[in-house]
Amino acid sequence: MLIKGQGVEGDAHSGATVKHRSRVRRDPTQPNLRQVHLIHMELFDELRTQGFDVQPGTMGENITTVEIDLLSLPTGTRLNVGGRAILEITGLRNPCAQLDELMPGLMSAVLDRDAEGELVRKSGVMAIVITGGDALPGDRIMVELPVGAHVPLQPV
């Protein structure tokens, strides 16, 4: 269940303000831009070719997508989940060392460099819940790009 302005019901990151320990230490009143974590299934396929036994849910994501290039979507993109819930993408997930606790080397595997040498974070995107509702396995996800200039995703 996705809850408007909160996130996934019962999830450790659910809430209107930040829940990540380092962010709470800096300012516990910051808005929570990390209510819902989405990862594209294609990342799991890529990681398996590198020897990582990863399945949906392994890296703490709430929703796994198929055939949506999440990383290339602009900030503010809305995702209509099953015709019931609406999420708004706020930025990239910045992977943390906890991934290496799951499987040594996993954090490095979800980081890359582009042609210009810039860091590429591949571990999914973060979103907030605009309209609450159930998110069910097999739900169709419709992508609605924001109006105006497209702002590339940054880590949140």
pLDDT higher at 81 or 98: 81
Please compute the mean of the pLDDT values over residues 57-70 and round it to a whole number.
96
Instruction: State the pLDDT at residue 96.
Output: 86
Count how many Cα atoms sit within 13 Å of the Cα of residue 18 in the half-sphere of its side chain.
13
Band (pLDDT 50/70/90 cuts) for residue 22 is confident
* Residue with the two structure tokens 């703490």: 60
H/E segment holding residue 72: none
For the cut 90, the answer to whether the pLDDT of residue 153 exceeds it is yes
Average pLDDT, the chain: 95
- Domains (ranges, CATH) in the chain? 2-144 (2.40.33.20)
List the one residue out of 21, 39, 41, 38 whose CA is nearest residue 30: 21
* Residues 21/83, Cβ–Cβ less than 8 Å: no
Question: How large is the average pLDDT for residues 97-112?
Answer: 94
